[in-house]
Amino acid sequence: MKRGDWIRLALALVVATIFIKTGAARLPVGRTVIRHSPVAVYAEPLLDPLVVTAKKLIRERGQFRRATAAEAIRMRAAGIIPDPSRFARAAAGEEIPVSLTQYCLSGKTRRGRGVRPGIVAADPRIFPLARYVEVFMDKKYIGRYLVDDTGGNVIGATLDIWTPSCRQATRFGRQQGKAVLVAREAEHLPFSAMVELDLIPDLRAVSAIWESLAKRETP
C-alpha cells in the first residue's frame, strides 16, 4: 500500500472515531427495540351490517325449487354431491311441482308389500314412505296416493304411479303436475275432491279400493 493510501485510511479512522464518540453516528450493534405508542385509527362506517340468510329468502320469495328427475339423474351420473336443499323434505300442505310417470312392474314394493293400484314410487328424501300425497295435473285433481315404493331413477321431484297395464304406462309417458303431502292428522279425513279417472285410464280400481278403505276406517 502506498504512503498516500495510508494517510487517507488514517484520516478516515479519525473522522469515524469522532462521529462515534460524539454520538453523531452509531454502529449497528445491540438489541435495542424501539417501540411506539399504539395509534388509534378512526373511520366512519360506509354500510350498515348485512346479515345474509339466502335459503330463507329463497323460500319466502317462492323461488325455492327442488331438483327435477332429469337434474337429479345428471347429478348422480356426474358424481356431483347435491345441495341438500334441492332434495328437501316436503312439508305437509306444500304444493310441489313434480314430473309424473307410470310403472307396471310386479312384485314387492320398498315397504315389502305387493304392488297395487293407489300407490306411487317417490324419492323418500322429498316424499317420505308410508305417507299420502294428493296429485294434480294442471288444475285437475288425480287422486290421493300412498308413497309405498322407490326406484333407481325415481329421484328428485317426481312420482311414479303404479298401473297394471304396461301399455298404459308407455302411453302415459312423462307429464307435469303438482303434489301435496297430506298432513298425518288429515290422512283419514274424507277426500275433498273427486278423482279424475278419465285422465289416467286403468285406474278405476283405485276408487273401489279407496271406498273399501274408507268403510274399514269408519267406526
Would you state the pLDDT for residue 56?
Answer: 41
What distance in Å separates the CA atoms of residue 90 and residue 109, rounded to the nearest whole number? 21
Q: CB within 8 A of 193, min separation 6: which ones?
A: 141
Give the tens place of pLDDT for each residue, 162-208.
999 999 999 999 999 999 999 998 887 765 444 443 444 444 444 45
Helix (H, G, I), strand (E, B) or coil at 47: coil
What distance in Å separates the CA atoms of residue 120 and residue 162, rounded to the nearest whole number? 6
Would you state the pLDDT for residue 54?
Answer: 41
What distance in Å separates the CA atoms of residue 46 and residue 28, rounded to the nearest whole number? 46
Q: Mean pLDDT across the stretch 13-33?
A: 62
Q: What angle do CA 58, 157, 105 make, to 5 degrees?
A: 175
Give the tens place of pLDDT for each residue, 133-171.
999 998 899 999 999 999 999 999 999 999 999 999 999
Give the tens place of pLDDT for each residue, 82-121.
899 999 999 999 999 999 999 999 999 999 999 999 999 9
The answer to which of 9-18, 57-66, 74-83, 89-98 has the lowest mean pLDDT is: 57-66
Q: CB within 8 A of 138, min separation 6: which ones?
A: 177
Please, what are the domains in the chain? 89-184+193-217 (2.40.40.10)
In angstroms, the Cα distances linking 184 to 4, 75, 137, 188, 210 are 110, 32, 23, 8, 17
